[in-house]
Structure 1
Amino acid sequence: MSFAWAKPYEPKTALGQWVDERLPLPRLVYGAVGGGYPVPRNLNYAWNFGVLAGVFLMIQIITGIVLAMHYYASVDGAFASIEHIMRDVNAGWFLRYAHANGASFFFIVVYIHIFRGLFYGSYKAPRELVWMLGLVVYLLMMATAFMGYVLPWGQMSYWGAQVITGFFSAFPVVGEPLRVWLLGGFAPDQAAITRFFSLHYLLPFVIAGVVILKTWALHIPGSSNPTGVDVKTEKDTLPFHPFYTAKDGWFILLVLMAYVTVTFFMPNALGHADNYIEANPLATPAHIVPEWYFWPFYAILRAFTVDFIIPAKLWGVVAMFSSILLLFFLPWLDRSPVRSGHYRPLFKLFFWIFVADIVLLAICGVMPAEQPWVALSQIGTAYYFAHFLIILPIISKIETPLPLPSSISASVLHGEAEESAPYGLAKSQPANA
């Protein structure tokens, strides 16, 4: 996004000018997150979670690199190496707990970031590619988290790998060969732990690369805002630094305080006790559950119990993967010209019903595969797909949005009621998400 009123970068010292002429990295940073990047002036705290996600990604990479120095990727030594890290490595217990809980906080932040995008229409033009790159990051996170969960080689690690990789066997012809290729054998063993460790170490750097692409794509149309109205004048924006660096800074410290509190005082609250038992292929846990951030998708997987044309297991696997892939088509499923949910009363109602549905699926995902949880999973799964495939397209056609503010500055400085334009006038203007 280029604005005439954005201040150009000017080196203050002779050394700065010399570096800028030969390697304009300071100029690049200034244009990306400094005073040279104008940002809508009405961003609320929901916009802090994008930066927070980057902070937790860095925490995961740094703690992961140090942990990898002490980890032994072996069926015979993986579990013992975790105990070695916890007991013998200086501050090893802190690094291990910081990494494990950092993954959970990373997902918490990303989930809030995704729901913010859903509510404020951040997937709408011209930000479709920004949304899709964000979903790619999310998919890479899920793969990284799954492989990392296997590495401690506890009971839940082993049986989680057995169950998750078993999904692939549901596909006819190619499923079982694909599962064997992924594991390097017919069951999780040395080949599997070696492969998972290699990919778990590599994928965070791939995530960082996609985040850079996402940030680059975001800077072309510019940041979205809560009103869904495009930036029109200089009064609509503020320089990212110092206004939003200060706002992000204190909010990051607040969230890090919560993260450190969990890490120090309840480090195992988000984990599973069975993972402190060494993996035993001959002893199946009574109740196998994935990490909490997979619970809704696990409920969707288990919602299919009847063979209809194809086996129920295949229906479940297809539905689980489709529930995520469906989000890539969201810009074309929701055709409303208004982006922000604040001005879409019918959309807002169904958005919160959708949030409640996700919570229901998460609860069903952690419960045993028995009634009434299976029936509730089926209801939640049916509503999940109906929300995107039926409800959103209908709402976008029949809904009458509220009047949009005439500009961002009008909504911030003078009140939306005084300087608002009828929907018919604002409709012709592209709006920010």
Structure 2
Amino acid sequence: MSFPWAKQYAPKHPVMQWVDDRLPLPRFVYNAVGAGYPVPRNLNYFWNFGVLAGVALVCQIVTGIVLAMHFHSSAEGAFASVNGTIMRDVNAGWFLRFAHANGASMFFIVVYTHIARGLYYGSYKPPREMVWLLGVVIFLLLMATAFMGYVLPWGQMSFWGAQVITGFFSAIPVVGEWIRVWLLGGYAPDDAALNRFFSLHYLLPFVIAAVVILHIWALHIPGSSNPTGVEVKGEQDTVPFHPYYTAKDGLGLVIFLIVFSLLIFFAPDMLGHPDNYIEANPLSTPAHIVPEWYFLPFYAILKSFTFDFIIPAKLWGVLAMFGSILLMFFLPWLDKSPVRSANYRPMYRICFWILILDVFVLGYVGGAEPIPGNVILGQIASIYYFAHFLIIVPIISRLERPKPLPNSITEAVLKGESGSSISETAVSA
């Protein structure tokens, strides 16, 4: 989308003029994040989380590069290098290790909130389908990177997590066992698996960064969505990104760093598992194997299939786990409603909050013991998860009568409607 009212970059200093004529990087930055990029005037704080995700990615790359300098990617040396060398011998190694581990959790918190905002405000709808699809690709790459990173400390949960998760690939007919051996470099997690996972864990963040650039590029073509879901109609509907939203994002960043610092300095192990401080032992299986908290909803879906039906239950679980993420690729075409924002879709808004509750239930089941009650609860929650996207959303999009939309963003702002956001709905609930 072109914004004819946007300010055009015109460098005044001779050096900047020379640089801009030969490499228009200053102009690119100005148009991407400066006063040359108009954004809707009614964005709330849930639009901060895209920037926070970028900050979290940078933190992970920087801390990961330094940690890689001291990591020993072998079954004999991985645990000692993480819990000995890095934690005790490297200057500020303990800080880097905890910042990297908790940075992954903060990254997922930010990303999950970013996805929830997109679902609530219909950010996946035309003309922003490509922005959404690239976001799902980033999410898949993030999950792969996090899983391989979880294996590297080579504690009990690391080893057995790799053993269990890669074991599910063997459920794929004909090629499953071959894929599993190819992933691990052998028949069980060992030196080959550690080297593979370490290499990919180091490489994938840079791939994520490249896809993030495409994600931002795709976003700048139609422009940002907004809480009303109404497209920009003129200069009166927008404000320059700088200084208005740089200041707003700055406040969000300060809060993010405060929470991040509290985790690092006062509760560095709160989101981890204590068994991962025990060195991996292939002869001692933990009583209860669980992945990191951000995988728990999908792990619960995987565990929900307990009996064979045409194909083995194990294969159903693998297909459902991957399908629970992949179906988000099709969301722009499953939701046919012309109205984007759930602020004007009362039926969809109710189902959205049920979905959020359902994901929390799946997270609980994923980390709980597999007793009959928890298994049944996980099966019910898994059924609703798929029903929400494949049945409920398509039906609602055809039957629902949305509330009247404002004529413009400016009209909504002047009437105070932009304050009716996801945050206020949460408070009232």
TM-score range, shorter chain: over 0.9
Residue 401 of structure 1: SS of its match in structure 2? coil
Equivalent position of 2:367 in the other structure: 366
Aligned to 2:95: 94
Q: Percent identity?
A: 72
Q: Which residue of 1 aligns with 2:50?
A: 50
CA distance in 2, matches of 1:167, 1:245: 45
State the Cα deviation string for residues 183-215 of structure 1 (Å, max 9, x = none): 000000110000000000000000000000000
CA–CA distance in 2 between the matches of 1:57 and 1:200?
Answer: 13
Q: How high is the TM-score relative to the length of structure 1?
A: 0.95
Deviations along 1:399-431, one digit per CA (max 9) or x if unpaired, are: 0000101100111124459xxxxxxxxxxxxxx
Counterpart residue number, 1:81? 81
Paired residue type of 1:306 = F
Shift of residue 77, structure 1, vs aligned partner:
0.5
Cα distance in structure 2, aligned partners of 1:226 and 1:162: 44
SS of corresponding position for 1:39: strand
1:367-406 Cα distance to aligned partner (Å, 9 max, x none): 0111210000000011011111110111011100001011
Number of residue pairs aligned between Structure 1 and Structure 2: 417
Residues 34-433 of structure 1: pairs in structure 2 closer than 5 A? 34-82=34-82, 83-415=84-416
Q: Equivalents in 2 of 1:46, 1:226: separation in Å?
A: 9
Q: Tell me the amino acid that sits aligned with residue 184 of structure 2.
A: L
User: In the TM superposition, what whole-angstrom CA distance separates every residue of 1:23-74 from its partner, at most 9, and x where no partner exists?
Assistant: 1100000011111100000000010000000000000000000000111111
CA distance in 2, matches of 1:380, 1:177: 32
Q: Residue 230 of structure 2 aligns to which amino acid in structure 1?
A: V
Looking at structure 1, the residues matched to 12 and 132 of structure 2 have their Cα atoms a distance apart, in angstroms, of 37
The alignment partner of 2:309 has SS state of: coil
Cα distance in 1, alignment partners of residues 213 and 147 from structure 2: 23
Counterparts of 1:167 and 1:52, CA distance in 2: 34
> Following the alignment from structure 2 to structure 1, what is the Cα–Cα distance between the partners of residues 61 and 49?
18
What is the root-mean-square deviation in Å for CA atoms of aligned residues? 0.9
How many angstroms does 1:12 deviate by? 2.4
- 1:100-159 deviations in whole A, cap 9, x for unaligned? 000000000000000000000011001111001000000000000000000000000000
Question: Which 5+ residue runs of structure 2 have no aligned equivalent?
Answer: 419-429
User: Which residue in the other structure is 1:11 paired with?
Assistant: 11
Q: In structure 2, how many angstroms separate the alpha carbons of the residues matched to 1:210 and 1:219?
A: 14
C-alpha distance in 2 between matches for 1:399 and 1:67: 52
Q: State the shift of 1:251 in Å.
A: 1.0
TM-score by length of 2: 0.96
